[in-house]
Amino acid sequence: MARKSSSAPALPAGYSEDPAAPPMLRYQASLPKLPVPTLESTCAKYLETVQPLLTPTEYSKTKNAVSSFLSSPQAAELQRRLKDRAAAPETVSWLIDWWNEAAYMGYRDPVVVYVSYFFVHVNDRLRRDPAKRAASLIKAMLPFRDLVESGRLEPEKVRGAPLCMASYKWLFHSSRYPVKPSDTAQKFDPKSNNHIVVLRKNRFYLVPLANEAGVEFSAAELEAQLNNIIAHAGTTPHPTPIGALTSDNRDLWADAREALLAASPSGKNAELLKKIEGAMVIVALDDTKPITREQISWGAWTGDGRNRWYDKHQLIVFDNGRSGFLGEHSCMDGTPTLRMNEFMLASLAHGKIDLGPEHVDSSKLPQVQELVFDINDKVKELVKGAESRFDELVSKHDLHVLHYEGFGKNFCKHHKVSPDAAAQLTKQLAFHKMFNRPGVTYESAQTRKFQLGRTEVIRSASNESKAWAEAMLNPKIAYLIRLLKDPVHLRTLFNRAATRHIQYANWAADGQGVDRHLFGLKKLIKEGEPLPEIYTDPAFAQSSHWELSTSQLSSPYFDGWGYGEVVPDGYGLSYSIGDDYVRWTITSLKRQTEVLKHYLAEAATEVKHMLEAAAKKDKEAEKAEKSRL
């Protein structure tokens, strides 16, 4: 594979290719390291982002706390320690180990609902049969796996600058493990684990991806094997669904895993677990037929808690041929799995995948191989407990989808506004409508322009967004009168808020946000040292209590995606922006989720009307100006 052609665009200054590295990783060594922002910059941004959330009295107290921190010898010492950590020769990223531990591996709540995220695939109308659909997805995944595992996948770039590709290691043949006090992960050899594990009716089946001669099975052969599995599993679910254990609290799952291993003194269960954990991916064949966006989102997000293995990435295929993907979040964020799913779905849609011959010689197919665990009464008891806790957790949740037509990239481009900023401001307006104040908002920004970069927070609530929302909701003047009288003023406030959002988004992507820096400084406070007032001030907890956990992933090949809330009184608010729509998936612990959905639709309509009314005023003013000339 050629590294680059003579017509390839030049790299930005500071980047170079490593001739010893595989193509996928050829820029890794020259990627910059995650920077340590200045104390002055972080404190100034922090004050700006907490101000709209506080009363003037509260803000004055916080300002004093920040000023005291900024001028303290302790702050200077913590900054020195952080810069020393970042500059150490052995340090690739000063943040990564701390962040992976705090956000993922040390997190003990169940991964399903709280950590995992899901994609809903667009409907493939040519493949309504579940085995046919699943076989095509598996076959389309194989060339992407080959590109990743061989290192030939072209690195992603943003504005010409390459991104870190290190997390792609965890895309295939990897697994998370429940361990006290902090989980671990393992990568397996693809060549010696060239198989998938299929779940059907709570049973596990091993399916090799190639025959004994090393020749990949065709889609038709995989389809035949999957149909054999469906027939073998029958109509009655296995009464002890071992997969339910992975849905539990991580400490409980760690104990249950030890009990599962102990239930098989011969080591059989240990070998079966290795086969599951080393598989390329899990394929869950569910026996449901979801139709609505809410139904299929629930199916992809949680399923029934039994026919799953939540410690690994998994493709999910339903009995009506609909499909989705559930991402295991601990070792990678959503952009690599987005790219993989897009590759699969686009390749199939455009006929780019060699599905192989349609003829199947059934005599040459492997026999159905069910992975049957040794189970004792202790394991049965643990599984029942996990099932009960899963059912209780999921029953407390809501999920609603708002697919809003006529307000997407094309509309925003026409009105010269950032689509992401418009979507975020719509959220702020909806939250103001519901709670009469700004929502403490986390928007995820990827920091993969740095070595081992993951994410930083875009703090989306701002003084500017608050001023605009309050103007839109001014109780002294009816909305329609405001809209007809002075939409240009409302648009001016809107554009200021959008500009502010873009600025903070750029800061976050450049590693110049607030949250990771303050997190790193706090991690370096030694035992016996006082906790600075900036951390004990109520504004610190309040401004990082993410009532709206938001993230955008957009693809024409997805019909939805989402995840759970991150605080008990908050909402998960994923969104996608298409050419002519915005789609939100809203989750919460039944905190009037359908009401927030209503206000989102209402806010989107009002934003749309505001921009259209302002554009109409522009034309009227332009026409009047021409008539005067």
Provide the annotated active-site residues: 329
Q: Are the beta carbons of 37 and 512 closer than 8 angstroms? A: yes
Q: Are the beta carbons of 517 and 86 closer than 8 angstroms? A: no
Pairing status of strand 282-285 against strand 195-200: parallel
Q: Greatest CA span in the chain, whole angstroms? A: 94
For the CA atoms of 358, 360, 364, 370, the dihedral, rounded to the nearest 10 degrees, stands at 100
Distance (Å, rounded) from C-alpha 594 to C-alpha 603? Answer: 14
In b/e form, how buried is each residue of 570-599, taking b as 16+ CB within 10 angstroms?
Answer: bbbbbbbbbeebbbbbbbbbebebeebbbb
Distance (Å, rounded) from C-alpha 22 to C-alpha 153? Answer: 9
**Sign (positive/negative) of CA torsion 307, 310, 315, 318?**
positive
Residue 2 CA to its chain's centroid (Å): 32
Distance (Å, rounded) from C-alpha 430 to C-alpha 354? Answer: 47
Cα of first residue to Cα of last residue in the chain, in angstroms, is 63
Pairing status of strand 441-446 against strand 455-459: antiparallel
Burial of 12 (0-12, 13-18, 19+ CB in 10 A): exposed
Distance (Å, rounded) from C-alpha 250 to C-alpha 247? Answer: 8
